[in-house]
Amino acid sequence: MKRPAIMLAAVLAFGLLAWAQGGLLINGAGATFPNPIYSKWFDMYHQKNGNINFNYQSVGSGAGIKQMTDGTVDFGATDGPMTDDQIKAYETKRGAEILHFPTVLGAVVPTYNVPGVTTALNFTPDVLAGIYLGKITKWNDPAITGANKGVNLPAQDIVVIHRSDGSGTTYIWTDYLSKVSDEWKSKVSKATSVNWPVGLGGKGNEGVTGLVKQTPHAIGYVELIYAVQNNIPYGTVKNSSGVFVKADLAGVTAAAAGAAKDMPADFRVSITNAAGKTAYPISSFTWLLIPSKIQDATKRDAIKGFLKWMLSDGQGQVEQLSYAKLPKEVVEKELKAISKIQ
Amino acid sequence: MSARLRWRKFLSNFMLTMTGVCAFVSVAILFLILGYLVFNGGKSINWAFFTKLPKPVGETGGGMANAIVGSAKLLLASSLFGVPIGFLGGIYLAEFSGAGVASVVRYAADLLNGVPSIVIGIFAYSIAVLPFKHFSTLAGAFALGLMMIPITLRSTEEFLGAVPRMLREGAMALGASKWKTITTVIVPAAYRGILTAILLALARVAGETAPLLFTALGNLYWSHGWGQPTASLPVMIYTYAQSPYEDWHRQAWAAGLVLLGLILIINILARTILSRGIAVPRG
Amino acid sequence: MATANPTVPSAGPLLGSRSFLSKLKDGDEIARLITFLFAASVVLITVLLVYELWMNSVLPRHKFGLSFFVTQVWDPVMDQFGALPFIYGTVVTSAVALLIAIPLGIGASIFLAELAPPRISDTLQFFIDLLAAVPSVIYGVLGIFIVVPLMRTVIYPALNKPFGYLPIFKGPSYGVGFLTAGIVLAIMVIPYIISVSREVLLSVPRDQREAALALGSTRWESTWKVVVPFARTGIMGSIFLALARALGETMAVTMVIGNSPKISASLFAPGYSIAAVIANEFTEATGDLYLQALIELGLVLFLLTFVLNGLARLLIVVTTQKGSGKGNQ
């Protein structure tokens, strides 16, 4: 009978050891859109402040909002700002306000895998809406070839790829399509999860990128850095001034220029299809969701400290990952808003 | 020999050969899976995999050290939760209970066993995550432990029941109380079968992913204690395999190899223990 | 069931007739109580689980009632939820899986039970049991990296070019889809069919076979026309067991089915299953109706697997009893 006793003691010792605390863990969940920059930021911040760990789970904006409302994570992240109903639900359930803090500006690009086509295809709003409504089904449809003279497009079916999870990137995409297509607006509308007329679902920006990469004749919508990091081509989009713009820092910054001046107090704003000759039409802010009341003082200070760092040093990191910096006016407003976190 | 007879004989040989082909294909699939995992996982396993933490998105060179430890913790805690319930419940069924109560408990255990793991995840979320306001290793262990209970319970009951009457009657003739008989005679006689069942239950939950999505969530760092979210091998495999990054694919193969290797070793161990037989008294 | 051994009379009917300490020392009553509590907790947990599923799906049950099962729309924006696409996907992928797994599985079990010498039969069965132990997520990984490309490069052209006019083989190839998920599921459930069918075939009494052979049948005829029909109910049971497993499979399916809540006749089209949609959308279902609609789906899945498992068990027990009971006629 001795051996089981020794084994039990070893097991208990392991258990107790595992109970030992080590450092502050702050859990967050949400958008995959900014995951590349968030994971870099949190890693850098952890290098600077060894005992503060921000555990960010890239599970989609929908999950971020839901988990915040359920109170199971300390902070959330989303690229689709919470709707009034969702905010009300949060306030009722959690008894505090939910604060949106913009972190970066990013672009959603139409990325595709058409064998033989390595250049950037030009997409008009009608083409994008038509493809995702299921009305344009082949790559050599006149609407597409019309905007891409000289490119050899095959007579193959378009494999449409969208998100299978609740996604802020979906919100940005459908927000844009709702603005440029009345049919889309009435049939599908904008949200983090919609009733897609056609297509396959991939999980996260990662999943969509993976599917596009592996599936010939596919088209999908992803945040710019995912297309860049994985070397898949992405197209230009015609903006409201009629110019075909390829997503880049200048285009995204231009799209945010108008909103920067008129930023509402709660920072919820849409900049898709923005005015301006150089504006990239499918741009967006992305937000961290922070509760206005945080009981744990160490957590509260850590979060406030991170936000201040993010708005200063952190902004210096974003451009190498193809995100655009926040406009100065927005940064100033946010620094003031940090004091709202009690 | 008539034509008809020749045809029947041919058909017989042909069909029987086909069944051999079926059996061969079925077993070959296992070896193909193993081979693929060993090939792809083998070239991806390196020291970094076992010792490093995950790196930020897009950077190479990270590892799954926290996921390995996380899975170990989950298995430990789920056994501590599920095994005692199954084991002691099984003792009750085999030694103390009447037929009516026994069939109710057995029915409940069979019901629990048939619940799809995703539904267990839903249940565990509402019981072990929501009320406590955070994802945790314990919540994951709760979900996995639930899945271990039915196997442990039924096997304990079965193997205890298979212990020969001779042993029981002998102990009682010597004046031992029921409980003493159970602990000193019956359980030791049946321990091989029970241990096998526990190992098989462990192997089954080691690979479960769905319930962990709703309970343990994930963690990029070490998960300290039992109340924090934790990374685990199955969830990492799920996340990394669906990503577009080559380095993550590589790590997913490695993790798959490690996980499958662990599960197969437990299975083989369990079956070898069982095949050595349950102790039977001589004479 | 409690073993038929004479119970040790519990110490003293009256509390005061033995000292408290000595009652504690042999501990039978305490042992009975403690083990009873643990056994009861199993029942309690199960009841709680069903209760939670039922209570937490009340909103969609009241709003949609039975139309939940026949509505195709799954629209979180409009708060319209229907289970039909998921039920369809679950049924189709399981049907495809069974269509592939049943012939292979029964064939293999016949080989193992009737033809292979016992040592080889046991060894092969050992390997097949190991196949059953491979976790779902690993099947999913293999599905993504092996079956999907195979589907795109080999299987789709082979089926679509000659048979593309048939509704089930129409349409473009995505790599993922109903057929891919069905193939992966088939591999996952073959071990269940083989191991249970082998057991029931082995339990068929020898004289059945010998009688058939004595009457001049070939080996195959005695197997297929006598032994297998005798074990038919048990084999059915193994199929139900396999079906129950296929229905509940989550990870492998969600990684290769395409995650699109659409009903489509083509096997190459993307689809969705009940387990897959719960896995993808549960942690992010904002809105109570949405979340509860997913829980109601979980309830449906639970009921389906519950019924199938029960039937399976019944059939298997009946067959093995038949084998031992009526054996010597």
For A152-183, write each residue's pLDDT tens digit.
999 999 999 999 888 899 999 999 999 999 99
Task: For residue B116, list chain C residues with Cβ-Cβ distance below 8 A.
Answer: 247-250, 275, 298, 301-302, 305
Chain A residue with Cα closest to C276? A164
Closest CA to C98 of C240, C311, C257: C240
d(CA B32, CA C107): 20
Query: Residue type for C201, please?
Result: L
Q: Which of A17, A19, A21, A39 to substitute to test the interface with B, most B CBs within 10 Å?
A: A39
- 10-residue averages of pLDDT along chain B (283 residues): 87 91 91 88 86 83 89 94 93 87 90 91 92 90 95 89 86 83 85 86 91 90 88 92 88 92 90 66 37
d(CA B144, CA B139): 9
Domains A23-105+283-340 and A107-261 share a fold: yes
Q: How far is CA B121 from CA A59, A286, B127, B204, in A?
A: 17, 30, 10, 15
Report pLDDT digits (tens) over C280-296.
888 888 788 999 999 99
Task: Give partners of B (≥3 CB pairs < 8 A).
Answer: A, C
- Local confidence band at A6 (pLDDT 50, 70, 90 cut-offs): low
Averaged over C34-56, what is the pLDDT?
93
Task: Give partners of C (≥3 CB pairs < 8 A).
Answer: A, B
Which range of residues forms the domain containing residue C215? 65-328
Task: For residue C282, list chain B residues with Cβ-Cβ distance below 8 A.
Answer: 121-122, 125, 213-214
Statement: residue A197 has pLDDT above 50: yes
Torsion of CA A311, A312, A318, A320, to 10 degrees: 180
Interface contact C174-A188, CB threshold 8 A:
no
Task: For residue B179, list chain C residues with Cβ-Cβ distance below 8 A.
Answer: 26-28, 30-31
Interface contact C137-B102, CB threshold 8 A:
no
Q: What is the CATH number of the domain that holds C149?
A: 1.10.3720.10
Mean pLDDT for chain A? 90
Statement: residue C13 has pLDDT above 80: no
Interface contact A195-C78, CB threshold 8 A:
yes
Averaged over C305-311, what is the pLDDT?
87
Tokens of A331: 């940064």
Any idea what DSSP says for residue B125? Answer: I
C-alpha distance from B53 to closest chain C C-alpha (Å): 21
C-alpha distance from B52 to closest chain C C-alpha (Å): 22
C-alpha distance from C165 to closest chain B C-alpha (Å): 31
Give me the domains of chain B, ranges plus CATH numbers.
Answer: 69-274 (1.10.3720.10)
Task: For residue A225, list chain B residues with Cβ-Cβ distance below 8 A.
Answer: 58
A101: three-class secondary structure by DSSP = strand
Of the candidate ranges A14-18, B208-212, C118-122, the one whose mean pLDDT is the lowest: A14-18
pLDDT score for C2: 45
pLDDT score for C313: 81
Tokens of A315: 């902004």
A-to-C residue pairs, Cβ atoms closer than 8 angstroms: 87
Number of domain units in chain C: 1
- C189, C265 Cβ separation under 8 angstroms: no
Task: For residue A63, list chain C residues with Cβ-Cβ distance below 8 A.
Answer: 283-284
pLDDT score for B280: 42
The residue ranking higher by pLDDT, A19 or C69, is C69
- B206, B259 Cβ separation under 8 angstroms: yes
* A109 φ/ψ angles, rounded to the nearest 5 degrees: -115, 150
pLDDT score for B254: 92
- Local confidence band at A109 (pLDDT 50, 70, 90 cut-offs): very high
Of the candidate ranges A229-243, B32-46, C38-52, the one whose mean pLDDT is the lowest: B32-46
Averaged over C137-162, what is the pLDDT?
91
C143's CB contacts (< 8 A; 6+ apart) are C180, C181, C184, C252, C255, C256
d(CA B263, CA B257): 10
d(CA B116, CA B33): 24
Residue C38 included in any domain: no
A-to-B residue pairs, Cβ atoms closer than 8 angstroms: 92
Any idea what DSSP says for residue A26? Answer: E
Which residue in the set B8, B96, B267 is minimally distant from C221, CB to CB? B8
Residues 259-278 of B with CB under 8 A from A: none
Interface contact C220-B89, CB threshold 8 A:
no
d(CA A100, CA A80): 11
Chain A contact present for B217, CB below 8 A: yes
- C182, C100 Cβ separation under 8 angstroms: yes
The neighbour count for residue A325, using CB atoms within 10 Å, is: 19
Interface contact C38-B84, CB threshold 8 A:
yes
How is chain A split into domains, by residue range?
23-105+283-340, 107-261
Averaged over C210-233, what is the pLDDT?
88
Statement: residue A282 has pLDDT above 90: yes
- A77, A297 Cβ separation under 8 angstroms: no
pLDDT score for C186: 95
d(CA B182, CA C8): 12
Q: Is the dihedral angle over the CA atoms A6, A8, A11, A16 positive or is it negative? A: negative
Residue C35 included in any domain: no
Statement: residue A306 has pLDDT above 50: yes
pLDDT score for C12: 45
C-alpha distance from A197 to closest chain B C-alpha (Å): 23
C-alpha distance from A187 to closest chain B C-alpha (Å): 30
Task: For residue B222, list chain A residues with Cβ-Cβ distance below 8 A.
Answer: 22
Mean pLDDT for chain C? 86
Residue C131 included in any domain: yes
Question: Which CATH class name applies to A23-105+283-340?
Answer: alpha beta
Which residue in the set A165, A196, A215 is minimally distant from C284, CB to CB? A165
Torsion of CA A64, A69, A71, A73, to 10 degrees: 10
Averaged over A307-326, what is the pLDDT?
93
pLDDT score for C328: 44
Interface contact B225-A40, CB threshold 8 A:
no
Which residue in the set A18, A56, A210 is minimally distant from B226, CB to CB? A18
Looking at domain A107-261, its CATH superfamily turns out to be Periplasmic binding protein-like II (3.40.190.10)
Residues 65-104 of A with CB under 8 A from B: 70-73
Which residue in the set B12, B119, B168 is minimally distant from C219, CB to CB? B12
How high is the ipTM of this complex?
0.86
pLDDT score for B279: 44
d(CA C309, CA C319): 15
Task: For residue C112, list chain B residues with Cβ-Cβ distance below 8 A.
Answer: 23
Strands A98-113 and A218-223: antiparallel
Chain B contact present for C126, CB below 8 A: yes
Interface contact B241-C251, CB threshold 8 A:
no
- Local confidence band at A18 (pLDDT 50, 70, 90 cut-offs): low
pLDDT score for C4: 46
Chain A residue with Cα closest to C263? A198
Residues 246-285 of C with CB under 8 A from B: 247-251, 255, 275, 278-279, 282-283
Task: For residue A199, list chain C residues with Cβ-Cβ distance below 8 A.
Answer: 260, 270
Residue C244 included in any domain: yes
C-alpha distance from C53 to closest chain A C-alpha (Å): 18
d(CA C161, CA C163): 6
Instruction: Give the DSSP letter string of A57-95.
Output: EE--HHHHHHHHHHT-SSEEEESSPPPHHHHHHHHHHHS
Chain B residue with Cα closest to A19? B225
Residue C21 included in any domain: no
